[in-house]
Amino acid sequence: MARPGTKWTRSVAALATALLVASLVGCSTGGEGATVPVAEATTPAVTTTGESAPAPVSPSAVTPSSAKPSPAKTSKAPAKSTVPVHAAGAHTVTIVNATQQTLWVAATQQKEHPIAKTRWTLAPGESTSVKLPTGWGGRIWARAGCRTDGSGRNVCLSGYCADSEKCVQPDPAPTTLAEFALDAWGGMDFYDVSMVDGSNLPMWINIFHTVTKDPVSAEGCSQQGCAKPVDCPAAMRVTTGGSTVACKNPCTAFNTDETCCRGAWAGREKCVPSKWKVDYTQVFKKAEPYAYSYAFDDSATMSCKGACDYRVTFGLSPSA
């Protein structure tokens, strides 16, 4: 991979092909990925007014992920009222803030499949829904620790945007991503939580209105485990004011051929983290076993068949 954040530069068709076998037996669960993330930022969240997109702040500020970051506070569990109502010809994604800080949520805008709104501000415990058209593919993520600066712009500690004010693409700094390829192949969607770019918030995804069994419970648990705080090594931490606000991926943190899967380590067959001197991808895998922890962990991509709707929850499992 050219850089750790480019997993989704491959085409939807390639993704569908890679998932063909798994999709035939229903939802493939996985273990890697854009993460589920970390404990929430220890820096108090400051609510801003309006929805102007935060300007990028320090090079890779993101949410908590220290060895014992203050627990990513979650409201006990997602509200029961957050199950989306299916709309014909579209997919409803309900976004839930189960943390104790205000989040500035954003979604990818696609020229071919545009959506009416791409930014939302959610206070703790709040949720919102967005209708995604047939064929939409992109990412949903959240900025945290935002405030309004002297010029009236929003600036955030983590999850900021590659295109600043428009905020329709995430910056490849440590950011937990919900990734979707809707109606990609054979009536199926493909989706995942990704920590390939590192992690700034805990996250999980549930599915509704489908013939596929959801591999993740409403509380963010799978057979492999639940969403827990990231125990981030000191060399991978992003800190602000003495607090850890995110966890970098190994390539960004160490910049070696090994951790960046380049040179002698390039390619799917040679990029094997278990053969590294230290398998730093386990930092993310242990926190969220069903999420992507590095670019080639395709077992983390899940599939959904039927008129699937989704719920993306930011927060830790209540038992974490």
| Beta strand ranges found along the chain (DSSP E) | 90-97, 103-107, 119-122, 127-133, 137-144, 147-148, 154-155, 177-185, 188-194, 203-208, 221-222, 225-226, 237-240, 243-247, 302-305, 309-314
Residue 310: closest CA among 20, 107, 17: 107
pLDDT beyond 60 at 45: no
Query: What amino acid occupies position 93?
Result: V
pLDDT of amino acid 228: 96
102: pLDDT strictly greater than 60: yes
Provide mean pLDDT across the span 258-287.
96
For residues 216-228, give the mean pLDDT: 95
The range of the structural domain enclosing residue 276 comes to 4-314
Q: What is the mean pLDDT of the chain?
A: 78
pLDDT exceeds cutoff 70 at 22: no
Residue 189 belongs to a domain with what CATH number? 2.60.110.10
Whether the predicted pLDDT of 112 surpasses 50: yes
Per-residue model confidence as pLDDT tens digits over 139-171: 999 999 988 777 767 788 998 888 777 788 888
* Predicted confidence band of residue 299 (pLDDT cuts 50, 70, 90): confident
Classify residue 319: in a domain, yes or no. Answer: no
What is the average per-residue pLDDT within 108-123?
92
> What is the model's pLDDT at position 152?
65
Mean pLDDT, range 90-99, rounded to an integer: 96
Question: Among the residues of the chain, which ranges form H helices?
Answer: 12-18, 20-24, 250-254, 257-260, 282-287
State residue 298's pLDDT score. 80
Q: What pLDDT sits at residue 294?
A: 94
Token pair belonging to 223: 């057979």
Lowest mean pLDDT among 24-28, 265-269, 274-278: 24-28
Tokens of 38: 């970390």
**How much is the pLDDT for 86?**
63
Average pLDDT over residues 282-291: 96
- Whether pLDDT at 215 is above 80: yes
Whether 285 and 32 have beta carbons less than 8 Å apart is answered as: yes
Give the DSSP H/E element, type plus range, for residue 58. Answer: none
CA angle 105–205–287, rounded 5-degree value: 95
pLDDT of 70 higher than 90: no
**Residue 257 placed within a domain:** yes
pLDDT per residue as tens digits for the range 231-259 = 999 999 999 888 899 999 999 999 999 99
Report how many domains make up the chain. Answer: 1
Report the DSSP beta bridge partners of residue 196: none
- Across the range 108-118, mean pLDDT stands at 90
- 5: Cβ contacts below 8 Å, ≥ 6 apart: 172, 196, 197, 249
Sequence letter at residue 166: K
Beta bridge partners of residue 310, listed in sequence order = 93, 207
Neighbour tally for 227: CB within 10 Å: 34
- Give residue 169's pLDDT: 87
Does 241 reside within a domain? yes
Pick from 7-21, 42-56, 118-132 the range whose average pLDDT is largest: 118-132
Q: What is the pLDDT of residue 173?
A: 84
Global pTM? 0.75
Is residue 276, in this structure, part of any structural domain at all?
A: yes
